[in-house]
Structure 1
Amino acid sequence: MIYRGFASVYDQLMSEAPYGQWRDYLQSCMDRYGNGGKRVLDTGCGTGEIAVLLKEAGFDVTGADLSEEMLSVAHQKAVEKGFSIPFYQMDMRDMSGFSPLFDGIFICCDSLNYLLTEDDVQAAFRQAFGNLEKNGLLIFDVHSPYKMSNIFAGATFADAGEEASYIWNCFEGEYPLSVEHELTFFIEEEDGRYERFDELHKQRTFTVQQYKEMLAIEGFSVIAVHADFLKESPLDRAERIFFIAGKKPIEK
């Protein structure tokens, strides 16, 4: 999904997102399972919040996203921190030309769920595999089947902020375990008037077993599967599932 119109206030709308938990989780996984390298790619980086946090933690970070508007915000954020982070407008299904390769590739904040077919997910995994160093890690998180079916489907969310408000309606999508998010944003302009933006976001998830099978097809070894930032097997009511996959089997 290419976010339009509201990239400049996206961070405000996502102000409660636990970005620090993502950084800590990624860092701990790289320390425990990685090859010791620090060169990482933040795929679907959005406004660069996690990329900047990873840079602060000592990683050599590159960011990639489909949205030019989001990348513009990410670049400005990095500059304000005094960081030089390369950001590229790229599709995670078609990412080539990186040299040297990466020690870790991250797909955070359910960005992978915007790929609606198995072929598209396979393509993203294939590109990640080709861009990883030996013993490199692919780490990603997705919405759980439980969240798609029991929390999103048929739900309405709303928030009235001082500068931006939204109404968010969720409907079952055309694919199994998929939802369509109908989003209406009202963003305050400098003259005090509000501009309206309407967007449709489509997301789909798969079962843990399906993700494992797709990873195996591309040559990955699944190292661990976690639930909701916790290093334990996913629970039936977990909302977010994390996968750690290695480019080859890694001895613990």
Structure 2
Amino acid sequence: MINYYGNLCTKMYEILHPYVEEEELQFYLSYAKQNKKILEPLCGSGRFVVPFYEKGFDITGFDMSEEMLKELYKKVPNVKSFKSSMENYQPKEKYDYIFITSGSFSLFLDEKNVENLLIKMKQSLNEGGNFVFAVETTANVVYDKQNYFENNSVKTEEGYDLVFKSKSFYDEKNKILSTPSIYELYDENNLLAKEEMDFRLKLYDFGELDELIFKAGFKKINVFSDFNKSNNLNKNSKMFLYDCYI
């Protein structure tokens, strides 16, 4: 399962990331305005949708993971959201602000898919709206780890042990970092469930996306290397934050 959050993966995600870091939240909130429509594609279990909703913003989210959306509905049953992949998403409404967080933009691996994503986001924006997103950079390269190693182990609410193992490979030509992963659920030494995932990220160098962004119809780009929007752009940052206007 490539770039999909399944049941065990979602469980671990919820345990390790119950809340968004305040600095990151404030960065995305800084673009939001009351009485303006907001869209969060790839919203997952609602780390951002929930605090936006609780602050009274008109926000809609969508995600392809049914498991993630179930967690979202547990937190906010009446939240506006729907199930869709980015490939199947067809712009029907217009929004004033769209954002994709946590480097999820990097889950789209080839240039054509990235171009289509950017075009859909532009088509979904009202005039004067902006699209804000983060990408992982080539500073995140991990040297190949051929064998599975344990990254994390957590306790579930039922008292079971949930273990995450992974290995990694880097395709230097295409700048794609692959992380085949295994999630295992144990009751002491008894294996209850197992889930295999394969996460792949497209890593970017500084300026690599600019041409595609303008080609999609955006008129202006601001790029930051941290959530403080500092003027001193660090081209070796592990993250680039794009603020795109139409």
Fold shared by both chains (TM-score > 0.5): yes
Identify the structure with bigger relative contact order (alpha carbons < 8 Å, sequence gap 6+): 2
Deviations 1:93-145 (A, max 9, x none): 4422533x111111111111111111100100000000111111100001112
Within-5 A mapping of 1:25-64: 25-30=27-32, 38-64=36-62
User: What is the aligned partner in structure 2 of residue 11 from structure 1?
Assistant: 14
Partners in 2 of 1:66 and 1:143 — Cα distance? 21
Which letter maps to 1:53? Answer: P
In the superposition, the TM-score normalised over structure 1's length comes to 0.83
User: What is the aligned partner in structure 1 of residue 202 from structure 2?
Assistant: 204
User: What is the aligned partner in structure 2 of residue 153 from structure 1?
Assistant: 143
Match of 2:67 among 66, 69, 89: 69
Alignment root-mean-square deviation, CA: 2.5
Which letter maps to 1:137? Answer: N
Partners in 2 of 1:175 and 1:69 — Cα distance? 34
Deviations 1:59-112 (A, max 9, x none): 111011111121121122112xxxx2121112224422533x111111111111
Going by fraction, where is strand more abundant, 1 or 2?
2
Q: Residues 189 and 4 from structure 1, CA distance in 2 versus in 1: closer, same or farther, beyond 3 angstroms?
A: farther
User: What is the aligned partner in structure 2 of residue 246 from structure 1?
Assistant: 245
Structure 2: 5+ residue runs without aligned partners? 157-161
Q: Percent identity?
A: 20
User: What is the aligned partner in structure 2 of residue 138 from structure 1?
Assistant: 131
User: What is the aligned partner in structure 2 of residue 250 from structure 1?
Assistant: none
- Asked if the contact 1:225/1:241 (under 8 Å) is kept, the reply is yes
For the residue of structure 2 that corresponds to 1:8, the secondary structure is helix
Within-5 A mapping of 1:96-175: 96-99=90-93, 101-147=94-140, 149=141, 152-154=142-144, 158-163=151-156, 164-173=162-171, 175=173
Q: Residues 131 and 196 from structure 1, CA distance in 2 versus in 1: closer, same or farther, beyond 3 angstroms?
A: same
Partners in 1 of 2:154 and 2:205 — Cα distance? 35
- Asked if the contact 1:184/1:199 (under 8 Å) is kept, the reply is yes
Going by fraction, where is helix more abundant, 1 or 2?
1
The number of aligned residues is 234
- Asked if the contact 1:30/1:137 (under 8 Å) is kept, the reply is no
